[in-house]
Amino acid sequence: MPELPEVEGVVRMLKPVVEHKTIQRVIVSPVIYTSKEAGKEAIIKGQTPEQFIAAVQGMTIERIERHAKYIFFTMLKNGEQQLLVNHLGMSGAWFHVAHPDDVTEGKFHKHMHVMWQLADDEWLIYADIRRFGEMRLLHDIADYPPLLAMAPEPFDARASDYFLEKCAQRKYNNKAIKAVIMDGQVVSGCGNIYATEALFRTRIHPGRKVSLIEGEQLRTLFQEIVTVLTESIAFGGSSISDYRNINGEAGSMQHHLQMYGMKKCPMCHTNTEQQIIAGRNSFYCPNCQH
């Protein structure tokens, strides 16, 4: 699943090429129609495909921002501002191309589900192999309450204290630390990959209860989360499986990971072990992490 660095990379590339451009035509895939007819909602949430097309066609993309793992498109049409919120799910990707056929990687080309034509030779295409991503068109962020519960950005000055305050709460105090730092209401945008890396760097076992970790060690852990997220942004994110930027290119942070997916610890060369925590496979070194 794309985490904060991957989403940040997409946003940084989208901003200069599509901000202030108008969506002239909208196409959604047959899969979205059949999903809605079956009583499900693939990608487009809270609207029928017809309603989505009618609403988005003619909108101008005023601003694109990242909030946690979400992409916020501030849109304007007929003087009315709306917010389109996009989550990439497990395998979502945006492509900025001259023609849909320019999405050449087969697994993405087969799963182009939302296509915006910006000009005769310019398209912005959302492809999603597993279809766990989503788009919600909102009048206000309050229209979707989970967005209001997100933790502050990890780079914000208040984020560290916020993290410590959350860890002290009974709701989190008795949980495994890995589960807590993957909770978007505690740490914004940190998922399985970067939680694994930060815990290894601080020598903390992912299953260790928060109550058994000293406050100063928790603060150090948060600093390492920020550091590894910053490093990953610089390397264009991690392309473990399906992440691509808007040019179809992979990131390179996966070449700099020390623990995620590793068979041996790079420090002591002990065989790594795995444990399912919060539904995710957690890699750790049984010798270095306690």
The three-class DSSP label of residue 228 is helix
Looking at the fold, whether 125 and 13 belong to one and the same domain comes out as yes
pLDDT 10s digits, 171-211: 999 999 999 999 999 999 999 999 999 999 999 999 999 99
Looking at the fold, whether 17 and 123 belong to one and the same domain comes out as yes
Q: Which residues are catalytic?
A: 2-3, 69, 280
The three-class DSSP label of residue 17 is helix
Looking at the fold, whether 25 and 63 belong to one and the same domain comes out as yes
- Alpha helix ranges (H) inside 43-158: 49-56, 106-109
Distinct helix (H) and strand (E) counts, the chain: 9, 11
Looking at the fold, whether 112 and 187 belong to one and the same domain comes out as no
What does the alpha-carbon distance between residue 207 and residue 125 come to, in Å, rounded to a whole number?
40
Number of compact structural domains in the chain: 2
Looking at the fold, whether 92 and 208 belong to one and the same domain comes out as no
State which residues form the domain around 87.
4-149
Looking at the fold, whether 141 and 175 belong to one and the same domain comes out as no
Looking at the fold, whether 143 and 278 belong to one and the same domain comes out as no
- Statement: the pTM of the whole predicted model exceeds 0.85: yes
Domain harbouring 53, CATH code: 3.20.190.10
Asked if residue 154 belongs to a domain, the reply is no
Asked if residue 289 belongs to a domain, the reply is no
Looking at the fold, whether 119 and 178 belong to one and the same domain comes out as no
Looking at the fold, whether 86 and 218 belong to one and the same domain comes out as no
pLDDT 10s digits, 12-61: 999 999 999 999 999 999 999 999 999 999 999 999 999 999 999 999 99
Last-in-domain residue among 149, 175, 196: 149
What does the alpha-carbon distance between residue 285 and residue 290 come to, in Å, rounded to a whole number?
9
Looking at the fold, whether 193 and 173 belong to one and the same domain comes out as yes
What does the alpha-carbon distance between residue 97 and residue 248 come to, in Å, rounded to a whole number?
10
Q: How confident is the model at residue 244 (pLDDT cuts 50, 70, 90)?
A: low
